[in-house]
Chain A
Amino acid sequence: MKYGLRGTRSLHLMLLPSLILLIIFAYLPMAGIVIGFQRFIPAKGLFGPQEWVGLYYFKYAFQLPEFRDALFNTLYISFMKIVAGIVTPVVFAILLNELRLALLKRSIQTIIYLPHFLSWVILAGVFVDILSPSYGIVNRLLQSFGIEPIFFLGSNAWFPYVLVATDTWKEFGFGTIVYLAAITSIDPNLYEAAIVDGANKWRQIWHITLPGMLPIIMLLTLLSIGSILNANFDQIFNLYSPQVYKSGDVLDTLVYRIGLLDANYSLSTAIGLFKSVVSCILISIFYYIAYRFLNYRIF
């Protein structure tokens, strides 16, 4: 049924407030990327008469050792997080699915899901305490096994892996629940048929459970590869310190420090824009793949 012109006017009206807010807080900042092409002086105003310098800040950024480190770290840390963030919940969902005590199964789900809800600020406070080389409970435990204390958050050899481990620790419960839902939607007849054919547990998991989970695994993988340039600002910002910039600084933290601490607005915007453009291309590609092959529709 068509609503007619009068009918759709109220639909436009309903969208108006959101539209205005998006224009101000999403589209104006998009126009604000001009800062990256200007020698920007804040006092002259956002769209004021600034001096244009073309690609100067982009060229400058690409020669900056900090930028190269940050780019490498972003990709390296994100890649490890994506792999760990898929494998861990998939394995857990399969193991948890094998538990036969429903109450235990539910309790474990509830507990592993909890960290997902806590802010990285809170969790950074927790990890800084328990990972401290002088008093942290983790190092005390290691010492009781005769291992020298490790400065997890202050050593470049450890820091990226601590990021991956703590990120996985926080988010795997969430993933596990998603994958468990996928497992429960598998047709139980398949298992019965497999048992009749003499398939043992491993073969059932390999030939029924995993293929049944595959579409959702692929979808989540595609979406997370799309956002590979997001290495998780909240986590890294709250856990890092100058001595681990070499191994832990990522594009987002670099943009923050250059922009808001050093007040070099133009350089920061240029780096941010580089990141946004690459991200946008990646996300579009992986969304398109998800849309084309997995029938994934957002709107």
Chain B
Amino acid sequence: MKPTVGERIFYACNTVFLIAVALLCIAPMVHILAVSFSANDMVTSGQVTFWPKQFTLIAYEYILENKLFWRGMWNSFVRIVIGVSLNLLLVVLAAYPLSKEKHHFRFRTVYAWIFFITMIFGGGLIPWYMVIKELNLLNTIWALVLPGAVPIFLVLIMLNFFRGLPAELEEAALIDGCGHWRMLFQIFVPLSKPALATIAVHAILGQWNSWFDGLILMNEPNKYPLITYLQTAVVNIDYDNLTDAEIQRFALLGERSNKAAQIFLGSLPVILCYPFLQKYFTKGLVLGSVKG
């Protein structure tokens, strides 16, 4: 059927509108990128929009010398390696028994409730903080990775995937005398690569983007993960703590370009991994956003 004139006008307006909105979604980042590459007087006189003016790398050179920035990068890396390994292991281990039917594994219901209750109720910030403090975990990497080591939401994605695997597979293996450990690691896990990729992407992103725990559980800035460092150095900047040299530096190169460069570098890992993230993230969408 041929579109009517009205429909054609609608299609044209719709296309323009959607492109404009999409541009609006990346425009702020593009502006920040342009600011980070521009000379200070161009930035302060408000001439930079979406393209660098008087291109310079001085803001990035300054970051190169910024030990705390790279220290944060390293801390985040360590956190991801340890945290994500723990996440993956515990998710797989917890999802397997929970994916069993009630008449196969009687205690499933009890365990499911124990997991579920933590999704809807929590003790709150201070009790949580006190527990970690009393365990003497403050200022160690374990304070960052252990409290969130069992991401229930990811257990849910995994157990639903396990449930989707053919039941005959399990029955045949059981008859052949295969125990649960071998079943999990030699049959289920190799068959679950797409689900594991989804879990890994969520876990990596979760570890990378977490900053609040770093802020309250680490006492020294050189133990902050990168995003926590950026929170204290870019967003919630404490001018009293700046050294004279830093103040001079700011005056010279411009605080805005410097912040912009840090923001951009801080988001770069996510942007670089974005195609990969997007591919695996979308699975198991609706289960998200639970805890109150």
A-side residues, CB < 8 A to B, are: 1-3, 7-8, 10-12, 14-15, 17-19, 21-22, 24-33, 35, 42, 45-46, 92, 95-96, 98-101, 104, 107-108, 110-115, 117-119, 121-122, 124-130, 135, 137, 140, 169, 173, 177-178, 181, 195, 201, 216, 219-220, 223-224, 226-227, 229-230, 233-234, 237-238, 252, 255-256, 259-260, 265, 268-269, 272-273, 275-276, 279-280, 282-284, 287, 298-299
Contacts and interface: CB of A to CB of B under 8 A. Distances in A.
A114 B133 CA distance: 36
Contact of A130 (B28, B128, B148, B211): B28
B28 A233 contact: no
A32 B97 CA distance: 29
Given A1-B104, A111-B25, A126-B263, A299 B156 contact: yes
A98 B127 contact: no
Contacts of A237: 212
Given A46-B134, A111-B22, A272-B126, A11 B277 contact: no
Nearest to A258: B126
A113 B211 CA distance: 22
Contacts of B11: 98, 100
B239 interface: no
Q: Kindly list the 9 A-B residue pairs having the minimum CB-CB distance in the complex, ordered from nearest.
A: A32-B127, A279-B292, A272-B124, A29-B123, A11-B97, A29-B127, A26-B118, A119-B209, A125-B263
Contacts of A128: 235
Interface in B171-201: 171, 174, 179-181, 184
Contact of B120 (A95, A126, A280): A280
Contact of A99 (B14, B135, B230): B14
A44 B28 CA distance: 49
Contact of A121 (B44, B104, B227): B227
Which residue, of A1, A92, A126, has the highest number of chain B Cβ atoms within 10 A?
A126
B150 A18 contact: yes
Contact of A111 (B26, B49, B116, B156): B26
Given A10-B181, A226-B292, A275 B124 contact: yes
Interface of B is mostly: helix
Contacts of A2: 103-104
Contacts of A220: 286
A108 B19 contact: yes
B126 A14 contact: no
A113 B278 contact: yes
Contacts of B17: 95
A272 B122 CA distance: 9
A273 B98 CA distance: 30
B231 A255 contact: no
A230 B270 contact: no
B46 to A, nearest CB: 5
Nearest to A6: B179
Contacts of B121: 30, 276, 279-280
Nearest to B118: A26
Given A22-B118, A282-B292, A33 B179 contact: no
A196 to B, nearest CB: 10
B245 interface: no
B25 A173 contact: yes
A229 B291 CA distance: 10
Contacts of A259: 125-126, 129
A283 B289 CA distance: 11
A143 to B, nearest CB: 9
Nearest to B93: A14
A223 to B, nearest CB: 6
A128 B32 CA distance: 11
A227 B289 contact: yes
A294 to B, nearest CB: 11
A3 B105 CA distance: 8
Interface in B97-121: 97-98, 100, 103-107, 111-112, 114-116, 118-121
Contacts of B73: none
A35 B18 contact: no
Nearest to A299: B112
A276 B93 contact: no
8 contacts: A18-B90, A99-B15, A108-B22, A178-B286, A220-B286, A238-B236, A255-B126, A272-B126
Interface string B128-150: 11111111000000000011111
Given A19-B114, A119-B209, A224-B289, A35 B49 contact: no
A14 B94 contact: yes
Given A24-B135, A126-B263, 14 more contacts: A3-B180, A10-B181, A14-B180, A15-B93, A25-B148, A25-B149, A46-B127, A95-B18, A114-B25, A122-B230, A125-B259, A127-B28, A260-B125, A276-B124
